[in-house]
């Protein structure tokens, strides 16, 4: 089973939930798909066994074959190619803007001269390791690199279906989140009971409904703010899987990279319950289809 | 005219609360919410929308079932896994490259323009506010950010305003880069945690990569003073000025629940510190 942990608003506790869930269960694979700002390793402190470069294919032009016809420029939907034709006996040239390239492969496939091949451009790194029995994989996007979805897809290629897979997703509601949660059997949305938390929860719920992924809500710092997140969940028939009150000790150990279950072992049962809750809801969703 | 962008790397460190307070403190400015996929600043500024525009960006493939012979050529070339086994398009996976349309031997695929969201110019009691809403599960948030930044800048120039104040998104990817580009100063808001430091460091490097001067604020600094000390030492090494330390203050959440900026809600320690920060920044 693949469980992703997401939220519209950042800083609500996605990584906390993901890490503590992983530490409370057996036979786990943990994927940190927040490749812009990966944090799970701070808490899990995995032993990294190998590192691989994450790459995307970008075009390279063989100018000995190129006739500067402009077909590649014409088909590139991302304006990542400019072609200067030959003029007054001066040689033409092709300019590639790799940071705009989505790696779709259209230019290479459609070049009439077969003058374009793809070369790998590094966009980040993937590290693979373990923490006791937990298998750990995370991606780290290079500084200045704009596009995280290709790296997220590459992290997800490591999914080990024989294990319970926990995916720590990035915040927001756009392409990085969708790439991270797509294909999950269940998604846990973490929020806080404030107007910002509610506003962004509503957006995240719309995303999951569009993706047709069953989901439930965890309310973190449940005793700050107001009761409107709970009201909303009741009205929309969204299960509240768990509530965690604000606790200064938990906040301090978080700040030092110590997971809740290591600070207070009684939380382990609460996270096992969260998992059982998820299994129940997932089976319910399956039997409805 | 000065463009100031508030960013953090890590989400939930207090960007919007601080940007919202600047709305109460700064005169002659336009406010911009660049966190277009989870925008919250409107919950403090209560805008009256004056202009509403569609944001058209990118395309999505559409397969004409009558012409499609299910030959599978499109499936074999699509690198985004956007063509489902029944030969329909999974629109949230399609990145609009159009390759399937070029390759289809039966001319069964055409590209349709996306309406990827909306953007607005609004009036608030704090002055102009430019904001946006990315469509659910849409992409190109970087382009939408660039669009509203441009609209805000033009508005500021036309009205001879002194500041464009930008509430940025979390992370370091495309919407963050679009929020930073061309700004005069980036204010990084972080918290005294290992995650906060780790993420602030990465976003600081991004700002440096694009040559944007950086200042830093530690929010809830008293939650872990040792960690706050580490962040200050880290900033000293990199010549990044720490221009404020805001104590954990329950008034902040109460103001939020009331939909008010902390400056307006009540006299409080957090508000006093944000006043000082604005004086340093302006």
Residues A236-277: pLDDT tens digits?
Answer: 999 999 999 999 999 999 999 999 999 999 999 999 999 999
The sheet carrying A134-141 orders its strands as: A47-61, A116-131, A134-141, A28-32, A164-168, A2-6, A186-191, A215-220, A240-244
* Cα distance between residue A13 and residue A180, in whole Å: 17
Instruction: Work out the percent of chain B whose per-residue pLDDT is above 90.
Output: 94
For an interface test with B, the pick among A156, A255, A259, A260 (most B C-beta atoms closer than 10 Å) comes out as A255
Report d(CA A127, CA A137) in Å as an integer: 6
| B249 interfacial to chain A (CB closer than 8 Å) | no
Task: Indicate whether B94 pLDDT > 80.
Answer: yes
For residue A286, the model assigns a pLDDT of 87
**pLDDT for res A216:** 98
The pLDDT-based confidence of A91 (bands split at 50, 70, 90) is: confident
The whole-angstrom distance between B159's CA and the closest CA on chain A is: 31
Could A37 and B170 be called an inter-chain contact, meaning their C-beta atoms sit closer than 8 Å?
yes
Render pLDDT for B3-60 as a digit per residue (tens, 0 to 9): 999 999 999 999 999 999 999 999 999 999 999 999 999 999 999 999 999 999 889 9
The chain A residue lying nearest B178, using CA atoms, is: A146
pLDDT digits 0-9 by tens, B172-218: 999 999 999 999 999 999 999 999 999 999 999 999 999 999 999 99
Is the pLDDT reported for residue B137 higher than 90?
Answer: no
Question: If pLDDT is split at 50, 70 and 90, which confidence band does B140 have?
Answer: confident
Segment A51-82, tens digit of pLDDT: 999 999 999 999 999 999 999 999 999 999 99
**C-alpha–C-alpha distance, residues B207 and B213, integer Å:** 7
- Is the pLDDT at A289 greater than 80, yes or no? no
Task: Please tell me the distance from the alpha carbon of residue B86 to that of residue A254, in angstroms, as a whole number.
Answer: 47
- On average, the pLDDT of chain B sits at 96
Q: Report the predicted TM-score, pTM, of the whole model to 2 decimal places.
A: 0.94
Chain B CB contacts of A246 below 8 Å:
none
Q: How many C-beta atoms surround the C-beta of residue B230 within 10 A? A: 14
Closest approach of B192 to chain A, Cα-based (Å): 7
- Tell me the ipTM for this assembly: 0.93
């Amino acid at each position: 089973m693949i469980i992703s942990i997401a939220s519209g608003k950042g800083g609500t506790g996605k990584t906390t939930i993901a890490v503590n869930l992983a530490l409370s269960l057996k036979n786990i694979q943990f994927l940190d798909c927040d490749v812009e700002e990966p944090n799970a390793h701070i808490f899990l402190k995995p032993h990294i066994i190998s590192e691989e470069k994450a790459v995307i294919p970008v075009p390279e032009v063989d100018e000995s074959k190129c006739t500067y016809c402009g077909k590649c420029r014409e088909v590139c939907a991302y304006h990542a190619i400019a072609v200067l034709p030959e003029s007054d006996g001066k040689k033409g040239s092709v300019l590639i803007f790799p940071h705009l390239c989505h790696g779709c492969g259209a230019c290479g496939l459609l070049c009439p001269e077969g003058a374009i091949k793809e070369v790998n451009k590094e966009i980040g790194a993937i590290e693979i390791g373990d923490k006791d029995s937990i298998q750990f994989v995370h991606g780290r996007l290079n500084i200045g690199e704009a596009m995280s979805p290709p790296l997220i897809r590459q992290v997800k290629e490591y999914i080990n279906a024989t294990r319970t897979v926990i995916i720590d997703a990035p915040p927001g509601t756009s392409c990085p989140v969708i790439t991270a949660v797509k294909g999950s059997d269940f998604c846990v949305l973490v929020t806080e009971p404030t107007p910002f938390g509610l506003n962004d929860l509503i957006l995240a719920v719309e995303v999951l409904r569009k993706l047709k992924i069953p989901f439930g809500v965890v309310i973190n710092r449940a005793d700050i703010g107001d009761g409107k997140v709970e009201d909303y969940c009741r009205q929309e028939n969204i299960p509240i899987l768990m509530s965690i009150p604000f606790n200064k000790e938990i906040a301090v150990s978080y700040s030092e990279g110590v997971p809740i279950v290591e600070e207070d072992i009684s939380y382990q049962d609460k996270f096992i319950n969260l998992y059982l809750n998820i299994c129940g809801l997932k089976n319910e969703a399956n039997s409805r289809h | 005219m000065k463009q100031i962008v508030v960013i953090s790397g890590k989400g939930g460190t207090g960007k919007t609360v601080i940007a919202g307070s600047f709305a109460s403190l700064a005169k002659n400015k336009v406010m911009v919410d660049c966190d277009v996929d989870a925008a919250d600043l409107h919950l403090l500024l209560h805008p009256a929308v004056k202009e509403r525009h569609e944001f058209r960006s990118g395309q999505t493939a559409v397969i004409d079932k009558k012409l499609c012979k299910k030959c599978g050529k499109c499936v074999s070339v699509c690198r985004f896994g956007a063509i489902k086994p029944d030969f329909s398009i999974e629109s949230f996976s399609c990145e609009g490259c159009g390759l399937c349309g070029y390759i289809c031997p039966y001319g069964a695929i055409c590209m349709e323009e996306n309406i990827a969201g909306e953007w607005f110019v609004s009036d608030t009691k704090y002055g102009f506010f430019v904001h946006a809403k990315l469509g659910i599960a849409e992409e190109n948030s970087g382009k939408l950010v660039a669009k509203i930044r441009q609209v805000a800048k033009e508005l500021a120039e036309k009205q001879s305003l002194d500041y464009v104040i930008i509430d940025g998104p979390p992370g370091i990817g495309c919407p963050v880069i679009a929020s930073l580009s061309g700004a005069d100063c980036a204010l990084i808001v972080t918290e005294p945690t290992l995650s906060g430091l780790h993420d602030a460091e990465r976003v600081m490097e991004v700002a440096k990569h694009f040559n944007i001067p950086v200042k830093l604020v530690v929010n809830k600094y008293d939650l872990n003073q040792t960690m706050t000390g580490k962040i200050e030492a880290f900033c000293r090494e990199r010549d990044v000025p720490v221009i404020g330390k805001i104590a954990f203050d329950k008034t902040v959440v109460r103001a939020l629940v009331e939909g008010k900026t902390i400056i307006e809600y009540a006299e409080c320690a957090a508000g006093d510190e944000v006043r000082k920060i604005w004086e340093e920044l302006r």
